[in-house]
Copies of this chain bind each other. A is one copy, B any other.
Amino acid sequence: MKNILVLGAGRSSSVLIHYLHKEAIKYNWKITVADASLQLALEKTADMTNANAISFDIFDEQQASKHFSEADLVISLLPPALHVHVAKACLKLQKHLITASYVSNEMQLLDEEAKKRDVVILNECGLDPGIDHMSAMQMMDEIRREGGVITCFKSYCGGLIAPESDDNPWGYKFTWNPRNVVLAGQGTVKYILNGKYKYLPYHKVFANTETVYIPGYGDFDGYANRDSLSYREVYGLQNIPTILRGTLRSAGYCSAWNIFVQLGMTDDTYILENSANMTYREFINAYLPFGNGKPVLENLAAYTGLHTASQELTKLEWLGIFEDEVIGLPTATPAQILQQLLEKKWKLQPDDKDMVVMQHQVSYQLAGCTHQRTSSMVVLGDNSVNTGMAKTVGLPLGIAAKLVLQGKISRRGVVIPVYPEIYEPVLAELAELGISFREEVLERS
């Protein structure tokens, strides 16, 4: 009887635990769900014959060592900063580990030892990073096998709201970490276009979007992510002329969000002196020129050159940012104030369904012709537990865990899922579970 130890029983763990339990019954495995909160772990394993819940403190060495040594495989859903700690414990006891987080420099240093100890530490095995790697590599490896030379790779992903639950002018609700949404794009965007490095400072990111068409769902805004350059090596695209990774939002979102960026209201580096007592209206006014008594909407319209009834200013008005409501948040940064307002307005309601969207766009040369292939995935949430996000993060983790336990992954060391022995079976089973890509091929001269 094999044992899987799942660390972390937060909201997004349900889909993973249910998948694992279904497989556990089939293969006679046991699952242990460990969390600092026993209650949370109990909730996630209720009515499961092959799963038990434990209260767990990763820094209690004795307890950790006991549970790790009973496991054949560990899946860590803990905060990314704790993964290296977990990995070291796994290495010591020769246990495999799977995470959905980026490989940190510290984690990479464990590669040699993991190989030596016959252990696989499989990271970046969720949605983004995760499904993005697997689906992009499957598509590009196929093109390369046919003899195609890839000249352009663009890849976009977004955690959004399903059309049926989209009832606000932004077409957005928080289905993921709100703080990351407010700070999105900060730092300098780096990518390669037509063989040239391109750099975009933060204040230009939301003004330089591309329109991304998703069959059946229409147009989306795609803004460039911070660093697209590091993907060259990962994907074997060292000399590619154009590479860009981006994030998707509803069409029109970015030009409205850009107003906050232009005004400086997404800054998280300083505290506003009087944030507790000021109103949202005073907050935005602090970033506008003196309005001479004009209403803030008119002042903002004049400052931005937009009409007061423009889609951008309508979106801002809907947020209540022009209202005389007191913020009531002491010693807050501009970004924190904005986040507080957005969390009220962009709150996911109990019956809301989320939507995960991904698209890869690949151009390549083959037999003297330029070809273009687009591959898109849309995953809708079923409800507030089986969200699109929980499915696309949890299922690849679960499938990978099964493959490791079944001995179908021979690679050892610190690994990400860019190899056919991993991505082929994971993507095949994801498709069976309803998570699949739809391809379109365009021929050009």
- Contacts from A to B (Cβ < 8 Å): 187-188, 190, 193-194, 196-201, 203-204, 208, 229, 262-264, 267, 269-270, 272-274, 282, 285-287, 289-290, 334
Contacts and interface: CB of A to CB of B under 8 A. Distances in A.
A264 B197 contact: no
22 contacts: A187-B269, A187-B270, A188-B264, A188-B267, A190-B270, A196-B282, A196-B285, A196-B286, A197-B272, A197-B274, A198-B287, A199-B264, A199-B267, A199-B287, A199-B334, A200-B264, A200-B287, A201-B264, A201-B287, A204-B262, A204-B264, A208-B289
A72 B349 CA distance: 73
Contacts of A188: 264, 267, 269-270
Contacts of A194: 290
Contacts of A334: 199
A394 to B, nearest CB: 34
Nearest to A286: B197
Contacts of A282: 196
Contacts of A287: 198-201
Contact of A201 (B193, B204, B263): B263
A438 to B, nearest CB: 30
Contacts of A285: 196
B199 A286 contact: yes
Given A188-B270, A196-B286, A201-B263, 19 more contacts: A187-B269, A188-B264, A188-B267, A190-B270, A194-B290, A196-B285, A196-B290, A197-B273, A197-B274, A197-B286, A198-B286, A199-B272, A199-B287, A199-B334, A200-B287, A201-B262, A203-B203, A203-B262, A204-B262
Contact of A290 (B190, B193, B201, B262): B193
A187 B194 CA distance: 33
A233 to B, nearest CB: 12
Nearest to A261: B201
Contacts of A204: 262, 264
